[in-house]
Structure 1
């Protein structure tokens, strides 16, 4: 009886955690806000190194090959128009997304 109650409690907690997670939708796919933040950090770090900004030249190849790119973004890399999608994700206003005032952000 105690194990059943503990299992149910864990499932309710897990459901609560996942239902509160903010998701960013792009091109029919949904990504966690953390993955989008990491993508933005990667684009900013390439700016700091003097490389061309993926925001400006839409170089999806270099971003998709980057070892620090979150795994959940890889399906986007395989789609047509990946460059444009990555550019749009790279400019998502994270502060606005965190309060769910941005149309692409859901799950608040």
Structure 2
């Protein structure tokens, strides 16, 4: 019983480390999958602040870069000249596919 509990605990721990190891590569920047998830949630929440979510309304990457809840990993990226384009690309990364590493920009599986 103790062995199976210890094995289960190690498996959960290993899975948590594996999830943190996945990164999304965009140009010279490597951003953790969790940070990309937070970026997408932030952009979605800004889009829906006005009430009903509208996929045609785009959140400005400059606005997102100025948001204090944006993960610190994005600070160097937001200082780039093409930050708007990079943030837009990261906001469109399919996370469900990235989690199983079936997306070319995802690495660290």
TM-score bracket for this pair, using the shorter chain length: 0.7 to 0.9
1:61 deviates by 1.7
Any conservation in 2 of the 1:21–1:107 contact (CA below 8 Å)?
A: yes
Q: Does 1:77 align with 2:78?
A: yes
SS in 2 for 1:30: strand
Structure 2 residues without counterparts, runs of 5 or longer: 1-12, 52-56
1:18 deviates by 7.0
Q: Does 1:94 align with 2:95?
A: yes
Any conservation in 1 of the 2:20–2:34 contact (CA below 8 Å)?
A: no
Any conservation in 2 of the 1:19–1:107 contact (CA below 8 Å)?
A: no
How many residue pairs end up in the alignment?
89
Quickly say closer, same or farther: Cα 1:79–1:31, change in 2 above 3 A: same
Other-structure match for 1:10: none
Structure 1 residues without counterparts, runs of 5 or longer: 1-12
- Which of 46, 53, 59 in structure 1 is aligned with 2:58? 53
Any conservation in 1 of the 2:20–2:32 contact (CA below 8 Å)?
A: no
In 1, Cα distance between equivalents of 2:76 and 2:27? 11
Quickly say closer, same or farther: Cα 1:46–1:93, change in 2 above 3 A: same
Scaled by the length of structure 2, what TM-score is found? 0.74
Scaled by the length of structure 1, what TM-score is found? 0.75
